[in-house]
Amino acid sequence: MADEVPRSWRDPDLLIKALPTVLLQTTCFLAPLVMTFLLTFQRSRNFQLQWSWDLWTWTDVFSKPHYWTILGHTIFMAAATVAICLIIAFPIAYGLATRFKAWENEIKVLITFAFITDATLKIYGWALFLDKNGMANYALSSIGLPPEMVAFLYTDWATLLGMVYSLSAFAIFTLYLSISNIDRSLILAAYDAGAGKFRAHWEVTLPLCKPGIWAGSVLIFLLSVGAFLEPKVLGGGKSPMSAELIRQTFETRVNWPLGAALTLVLMVVSVFIVLLFSRLIGLKRAGLAA
């Protein structure tokens, strides 16, 4: 399958294939990240960037609890999103891997389409649905229920709903992959050992799809700390999350160094949390490998 002997970087075959990616991701991903880091040592005066090379911005970041409250809120929402996504994804992924065989492709098409459709549209659709004069309330009151029962638009609950909506497909796909890789005979062996169906899955399926659970959790967590549309459109911007704070810092306050610092803080804290958990769970690189 793979090479038996490592190739030299002078091999033209390797160069043609790997170099474009290396160039693209170093110049348009790594270099911007490094520059973002360097920007945090500058200052912003009168909406202009000044190359001052000091720790002024970092002092600001660490002295204002406001930023950290928002960060804490963001992490909390992200963690909640991960938990809910996993819970709702498990039965779907399990069904896809085992019971829905006849409809497997149709179901995958439906899920993929919903997943790949642009987030702006879907969030906008939710806003129209949940609005106090929206679909949900209209439907409920037309069957005789009191008006405006659905009233959680512009709360954290709506934000959470949007985030789960946008990201749960990741959990479905990663769990589906790892469940379909489980050897069926292991579960049969568990039945044979006298376990009931629930017990068998609890003891066999769940532990074996740990890598899938982990990969899905990491992806969802990292992507949801950057959520922006959901808190803005569905949460009504009332309890801002980090992404919104960062965007405002750039756009409204035009403070690039501060925005850069807040971006880095968000990334570093998220990655740190992921690493901490992977150490706790004892799955070092399963997430990346999957």
Partner 1 sequence: MIARLEGRFIDIVLWGSLAAILIFFYIPIFTLIAFSFQEGRFLTLPFEGISLRWYGELFRNTNALNALWNSTLIAIITTVIATAIGTMAAIAAVRYRFRGTDAFRLLAGVPLAFPQLLLGIVLLLWFSVLGRMLDFSTGISTAIIGHIVYITPFAMVIVAVQVYNFDATVEDAARDCGASSFEVYRYVTIPLLWPGIFSAAIFAFLLSWGNFYLTYSLAGSTRTLPTFIFSGIAIGSSPLYPAIATVIFIPGILLVILANRLRRT
Distance CA 80, CA 78 (A): 5
* Pair 116, 226: CB distance under 8 Å: no
Of 93 and 156, the one with the shorter C-beta distance to partner 1 is: 93
Of 33 and 186, the one with the shorter C-beta distance to partner 1 is: 33
CA dihedral 186, 187, 191, 197 (to 10 degrees): 160
Of 156 and 218, the one with the shorter C-beta distance to partner 1 is: 218
CB of 263 to partner 1, least distance (A): 6
Local structure of residue 3 (DSSP, 8 states): -
CB of 64 to partner 1, least distance (A): 20
CB of 190 to partner 1, least distance (A): 13
CB of 198 to partner 1, least distance (A): 7
Residue-wise DSSP of 246-269: HHHHHHTS--HHHHHHHHHHHHHH
Of 24 and 55, the one with the shorter C-beta distance to partner 1 is: 24
Phi, psi of 129 (to 5 degrees): -70, -45
Q: Give the E-state strand segments of 157-237 in sequence order.
A: none
Of 56 and 124, the one with the shorter C-beta distance to partner 1 is: 124
Of 186 and 289, the one with the shorter C-beta distance to partner 1 is: 289
CB of 24 to partner 1, least distance (A): 6
CB of 121 to partner 1, least distance (A): 5
What b/e sequence results for 77-111 when a residue is b if at least 16 CB atoms lie within 10 Å of its CB, and e otherwise?
Answer: bbbbbbebbbeebbebbbbbbeeeeeeeeeeeeeb
Q: Is 32 buried (19+), middle (13-18) or exposed (0-12) by CB count in 10 A?
A: exposed
